[in-house]
Amino acid sequence: MEYALRTNALTKVYHGKNAVSKVTMNVGRGEIYGLIGKNGAGKTTLMKMIMGLAAPGTGTIELFGSTSLDEQRKRLGCIIESPALYPYMTALQNLENHRILLGLPDKGAPVKALQAVGLTYTGKKTVKHFSMGMKQRLSIAMALLGNPDFLVLDEPINGLDPTGIRDVRDLLLKLNKEDGITILISSHILGELYKIATCYGILNDGMLVEEFTKDELELRCRRCLKVEVDDAKQACILIEELFHTRDYDVLDGHIIRIFGQDIDSGLLNKALTGSGITVKTIQSSGEDLEGYFMERMGGTKHA
Amino acid sequence: MHNLIRSELYKLFHSRSFWTLLIISAVTGLIIVLIFQGMMTLTAKDSGLNRMGAGQNGFQISVSGSDAADDFNISGISLMMETFSGNLYQTLILIFTSIFTAMEFSHGTVRNTVSRGLGRGRIYLAKYLCNAAASLLFTFAAMATSFAAASVLWGTGPITGSFALTLLQTILVQLLLLAAYSGVCMFIAILFRSSGGAVALNFCLLIFLPSLLSLSGIFTGGRLQLERYWLVNCASSIASPAPDAAALCTAVISGVITLLLSVFLGVFCFKKRDI
């Protein structure tokens, strides 16, 4: 598989504290990688290191299989932290300046970028008079200038109204599907991230806790009946005979998760105990996405 | 590099602070001439009163400012060079350079350039070249208005072959000193990353550094006089159409060393710190 980004044991220390700690992650070409973490988890610091705004303490970064990062960063577009715009210029002037900086020959590129994000109506209004949502859209337009192969977006839908969020989502999905652009995106709005991302990484206290694909996530969040027993092997045989299903899995050797809507927990409990199997717990389970992420990020604490 | 410079120039010419300071610079050049005109008129009146007394005793009377200007050798060229003494240009440069450099950090726009893999050294150099260009434009604006106004009032002054060459050399050295000063101001702005802090420290340097440097003379019994090599003092020492050759030489050496040192240190600091 080709990778747009690979990091190996990437670490960054600020004032004696690990802001990012030994993060090894891989973002495949054409993926939309959702980076999830609470405030202060290290998402922005990680993205800054990828974009060359902060130097890694230790560890390595590869972009498109190359360690010549400055050269490869020309293929990237980004939004890091807040919108980075010149307030005394209009939207078009900001984009025109960026076009000149990138050496793009197409003088119509700024107008096309404004059309893509729905900001063609701003005219001579300078950026200092823009709303937060307008600034965010303009930032996205700047990141898209030059047709990058890889977008690094740090909470790009902050400050957007529902229409704006939908528009950005549709735009990113379109860019990914039609142009094959790889996207690394972080957001606190997990529902939106679920609609966009094809794989996820959870960052907690600077460490990459878990990485999984969307399919794996859906599997983990399916509704099920969770049974904790002392003899899982015997219990599985009984379940197959009783409910004619093989749609289950065993965790840690003694927790059986039976998927499907029509499992009678009372019947199951009776059958298991009747066969001499001790049932420690039996409960319906199946988190929604937010619940699953909260659990992996460290319980109910919110930063 | 070419694209970086074009981008910086684009920002420069869309910058309100640039145009404001350019106008201030041009107007200040004019004001200097008007101040001199006022001084000459007052001086002439005093001379006239004295000559009137002499005239009553049979001597020729003259009450014109031109006569006073002749007495003091005032011309378009001399007044144009006079603008280099004092802190006019340095004040404009420090204000503009501090704002134009630090704003990239306060607006976060430095992330746009650095994140595109353009190289921090080149980014710094492009910004410096633009700052230096702006500094020279302020200088030319004040020089042009002061020369034009003074020439109308008192004539351009003598421009012979060797004198013109000396004048050109002096102007070029002055411009070198101002470019070096711009480098120092930009280095301070890169350290502080805020317009207010950079302007404040640059003002303090402008006002207090000569006094601090003069302590070197006190502590070394006059053997070492560091204040002679400070850019502003060098500029003042050659602020005439035909300055002393030794002073010119000192100014060139100070200018070159300060410019190279400030740019080198600026690039080093910019490369080392996270954004």
The rounded distance, in Å, linking the Cα atoms of A25 and A8 is 7
CB contacts, 8 Å: B110 with chain A: 84
pLDDT average, residue stretch B102-108: 94
Interface test with B, best of A101, A128, A135, A145 (most B CBs within 10 A): A101
The rounded distance, in Å, linking the Cα atoms of A166 and A189 is 12
Are B235 and B82 spatial neighbours (Cβ–Cβ below 8 Å)? no
pLDDT of residue A174: 92
Q: Enumerate residues 6+ apart whose C-beta is below 8 A from B234.
A: B177, B228, B247, B250, B251, B254, B255
Q: Which residues pair with A202 in a beta bridge?
A: A36, A210
- Residue B37 or residue A181, greater confidence: A181
pLDDT of residue A289: 66
pLDDT of residue A261: 62
- Answer whether residue B54 shows pLDDT above 60: no
**Residue B172: other Cβ atoms inside 10 A:** 12
Across the interface, whether the CB atoms of A142 and B112 are under 8 A apart is answered: yes
- Answer whether residue A33 shows pLDDT above 90: yes
Interface test with B, best of A97, A128, A135 (most B CBs within 10 A): A97
pLDDT of residue B64: 44
The rounded distance, in Å, linking the Cα atoms of A267 and A282 is 12
Q: How far is A71 from chain B (nearest CA, A)?
A: 6
B262 has a chain A CB within 8 A of its CB? no
Interface test with B, best of A100, A102, A135, A151 (most B CBs within 10 A): A100
Q: Which of residues 58-117 of B touch A (CB under 8 A)?
A: 103, 107-117
- Please report, in angstroms and rounded to a whole number, the separation of the first and last CA atoms in chain B: 21
Residue B185: which pLDDT band, with cuts at 50, 70 and 90? Answer: very high
- Answer whether residue A168 shows pLDDT above 60: yes
The rounded distance, in Å, linking the Cα atoms of B4 and A298 is 45
The rounded distance, in Å, linking the Cα atoms of A240 and A231 is 15
So where are chain B's domains? 2-30+76-272
Are A157 and A171 spatial neighbours (Cβ–Cβ below 8 Å)? no
The rounded distance, in Å, linking the Cα atoms of B152 and A164 is 62
User: Among B41-45, B75-79, B132-136, which is the least confidently predicted range?
Assistant: B41-45
pLDDT in tens, A206-236: 999 889 888 887 777 777 888 999 999 999 9
Which helix (H) or strand (E) segment holds residue A211: the answer is strand A207-213
A98 has a chain B CB within 8 A of its CB? yes
Across the interface, whether the CB atoms of B275 and A101 are under 8 A apart is answered: no
- Answer whether residue A63 shows pLDDT above 50: yes
pLDDT of residue A161: 87
CB contacts, 8 Å: B16 with chain A: 88
A89 has a chain B CB within 8 A of its CB? yes
Across the interface, whether the CB atoms of A100 and B10 are under 8 A apart is answered: yes
pLDDT of residue B63: 42
CB contacts, 8 Å: A101 with chain B: 3-4, 6-7, 112-113, 116, 118
Across the interface, whether the CB atoms of A76 and B4 are under 8 A apart is answered: no
Q: Which of residues 193-252 of A touch B (CB under 8 A)?
A: none
Residue B61: which pLDDT band, with cuts at 50, 70 and 90? Answer: very low
Dihedral of CA A228/A231/A234/A236: which sign?
positive
The rounded distance, in Å, linking the Cα atoms of A206 and A38 is 10
Facing residue for A86 by CB, picked from B4, B11, B119: B11
Are A232 and A256 spatial neighbours (Cβ–Cβ below 8 Å)? yes
Q: Enumerate residues 6+ apart whose C-beta is below 8 A from A75.
A: A63, A64, A148, A149, A150
Please give the structure tokens belonging to residue B15: 């910058």
Q: CA-nearest residue of chain B to A127?
A: B107
Closest CA to B33 of B91, B99, B78, B87: B78
Look over chain B and give the mean of its residue pLDDT values, rounded to a whole number.
85
3-state class (DSSP) for residue A245:
coil
Across the interface, whether the CB atoms of B3 and A78 are under 8 A apart is answered: no
Residue A142: which pLDDT band, with cuts at 50, 70 and 90? Answer: very high
Residue B219: which pLDDT band, with cuts at 50, 70 and 90? Answer: confident
Instruction: Quote the percentage of chain A above a pLDDT of 70.
Output: 95
Please give the structure tokens belonging to residue A239: 């379940």
Facing residue for A52 by CB, picked from B7, B15, B117: B117
User: A–B: how many Cβ contacts below 8 A?
Assistant: 81
The rounded distance, in Å, linking the Cα atoms of A45 and A37 is 12
Q: How far is B265 from chain A (nearest CA, A)?
A: 19
Q: Which residues pair with A34 in a beta bridge?
A: A185, A200
pLDDT average, residue stretch A122-147: 92
The rounded distance, in Å, linking the Cα atoms of A249 and A255 is 8
Q: Which residues pair with A62 in a beta bridge?
A: A6
B11 has a chain A CB within 8 A of its CB? yes
Facing residue for B119 by CB, picked from A70, A83, A96: A70
Look over chain A and give the mean of its residue pLDDT values, rounded to a whole number.
89
Q: Enumerate residues 6+ apart whose C-beta is below 8 A from B213.
A: B226, B227, B229, B230
- Answer whether residue B48 shows pLDDT above 70: no
Residue A288: which pLDDT band, with cuts at 50, 70 and 90? Answer: low
The rounded distance, in Å, linking the Cα atoms of B70 and B138 is 29
CB contacts, 8 Å: B11 with chain A: 86, 97
Q: How far is A258 from chain B (nearest CA, A)?
A: 49
- Answer whether residue B105 shows pLDDT above 90: yes
Predicted TM-score of the model (pTM): 0.83
A52 has a chain B CB within 8 A of its CB? yes
Across the interface, whether the CB atoms of A103 and B3 are under 8 A apart is answered: yes
The rounded distance, in Å, linking the Cα atoms of A110 and A128 is 19
Interface test with A, best of B112, B123, B195 (most A CBs within 10 A): B112
